[in-house]
Amino acid sequence: MSQQDTSAKAEPLIEVIEKPEDIASGFNCVAEAFGRQARDAFWISMNPGWDTPDGRTLAAARMIEQWRATTTNKDGNPNTVFLKATVSDPDGRKVIAGIAIWGQLSVVEGCGDRPSDDLRSTLNLEALYPGNEPEQRYLCQFYRSFMKRRVEVVREKETSQPPSLMHLQLCAVDPAFQRRGIALKLVQWGLEEARRRGDLEATTEASIMGRHVYARLGFRGEGQDIEYEVDLQFKHRDRPANLFMRTGSH
């Protein structure tokens, strides 16, 4: 069996990211999957210049900033977990082939991060689009619609025990390493962590590419694709299809 055949059959290694350079490598997986492969219009808008060296560096820096800002819950567990999937390339070198971000969310203090549908509270839009009020407004409107159901469900959990859920914020695999079960492993890790943290429900906003993976692991779609409420001047823009999915209350 050739070295390439052996590496193709090797199991991906799923680990928590502990170094900023791994975040940068993981961002490249996201850029290839969401930018080059899926041409996800909103992701591209959120990451201007993603297909240039300078643009990727700035976007990766924003992700590293999010990673550095991770908080902990009352049990000492990180409320946000960045995962990497490492595989061997055809030359036998270890490379990051996929990345996922899982977050524990709650409106109860100490039980997770409180989600917000206000994009300006989490991102400097003026730095992203200097002086471009229409583009900033569009991103805020899109994000509010995208986050609506996530925020609602987290609020509904306030009286549950525990009053939290695990949310899959992002899962991306470099197209060069797809169809090897990497996304499945990244999602499985989060589901196992959700059980360890008190049998928490898991949720996500699923793209068309990811839905079959989530469905295999017990996620169910809730209604129709997310409806985006944006101003008339933005109605002509392409918007990715996303479906809120959840594993069900435990």
Nearest to 147 by CA among 25, 229, 40: 229
Task: Express each pLDDT in 187-240 by its tens digit.
Answer: 999 999 999 999 999 999 999 989 999 999 999 999 899 999 999 999 999 999
Contacts of 230 (CB under 8 A, 6+ apart): 138, 141, 142, 145, 237
- Is residue 250 pLDDT above 60, yes or no? no
Task: Express each pLDDT in 59-110 by its tens digit.
Answer: 999 999 999 999 999 999 999 999 999 998 888 889 999 999 999 999 999 9
Task: Express each pLDDT in 120-157 by its tens digit.
Answer: 999 999 999 999 999 999 999 999 999 999 999 999 99
Give, in degrees to the nearest 5, the angle at Cα 99 between 241 and 35. 45
Instruction: Write down the CATH superfamily of domain 3-246.
Output: Gcn5-related N-acetyltransferase (GNAT) (3.40.630.30)
The sheet with strand 220-221 has its strands ordered as 13-16, 80-88, 94-105, 165-173, 201-207, 242-246, 220-221
- Is residue 5 pLDDT above 80, yes or no? no
Contacts of 246 (CB under 8 A, 6+ apart): 153, 201, 202, 203, 204, 219, 220, 222
Domain ranges of the chain: 3-246
